[in-house]
Structures are given as structure tokens and as C-alpha cells.
Amino acid sequence: GAVVSQHPSRVICKSGTSVKIECRSLDFQATTMFWYRQFPKKSLMLMATSNEGSKATYEQGVEKDKFLINHASLTLSTLTVTSAHPEDSSFYICSAGLQETQYFGPGTRLLVL
């Protein structure tokens, strides 16, 4: 139980394009989902908290216009990296909350050329 999927697992795009990453809770409903970014050999950095039916809450220093988050249903949250640049290349991981525990997706590797 408590399985979270992410799609795509890997994406390569050109600089200036937008990329959408999906996070789904497969066997439970999650009113809250979280988006993290992980740099090589580093811990996870929380980017934003996504609440179903309301606006996401962004952490300090995260550009909300660049990282658009939508949580339209209890099983799906999306992160759109708009006008991506090489410095946005990273490993993005989502998690879904269930009973005070976060369950993580497998991550999405983004490479912006």
C-alpha cells in the first residue's frame, strides 16, 4: 500500500521550453502532496506544499511563477517547470501525505540542454 508514481522518470528538453511532471497516489487519496528538489550528493530541498483544491505554498526562495503546481484531485499533483534553463536540471521528487507520513515517488530526472 501507499504507492506513489511519477511521470516521466526522465526528461530531456531544450532551454526555454516547459516541462510537466505528474505525481500520483495510486492506492490512497492525498489532500497534501509535496515537491522536492535534490541536487547531486545532497539532501532533499522542499520546494512547495500542494494542497488539493487550493493554491500551493512555496518555500522561501522558490519562484512560484517558474515552478507551477496544480493539485486538481486527491490523487494527482503536477509540477510544471516553465521556461526551463540548464540550472533547472535536477532530480525532482514528489511525496504524498497519508496519516502524518510521507510516501515518495521514484523521482524525475530533468536535464535541460
Partner 1 sequence: AQSVTQPDIHITVSEGASLELRCNYSYGATPYLFWYVQSPGQGLQLLLKYFSGDTLVQGIKGFEAEFKRSQSSFNLRKPSVHWSDAAEYFCAVGALTSYGKLTFGQGTILTVHP
* Interface positions with partner 1 (CB under 8 A): 2, 4, 6, 32, 34, 42-44, 46, 49, 91, 93, 95, 97, 100-107, 109
For residues 42 and 85, which CB has a smaller minimum distance to partner 1 in the complex?
42
Q: What is the DSSP letter of 75?
A: T
Rounded Cα distance between 70 and 86, Å, is 23
Buried b (16+ CB within 10 A) or exposed e, 51-79: bbeeebebeeebeeeebbbebeebbbbbb
Task: Give least dist CB 31 to partner 1, A.
Answer: 9
Rounded Cα distance between 34 and 49, Å, is 5
For residues 10 and 15, which CB has a smaller minimum distance to partner 1 in the complex?
10
Task: Give least dist CB 82 to partner 1, A.
Answer: 24
Task: Give least dist CB 49 to partner 1, A.
Answer: 7
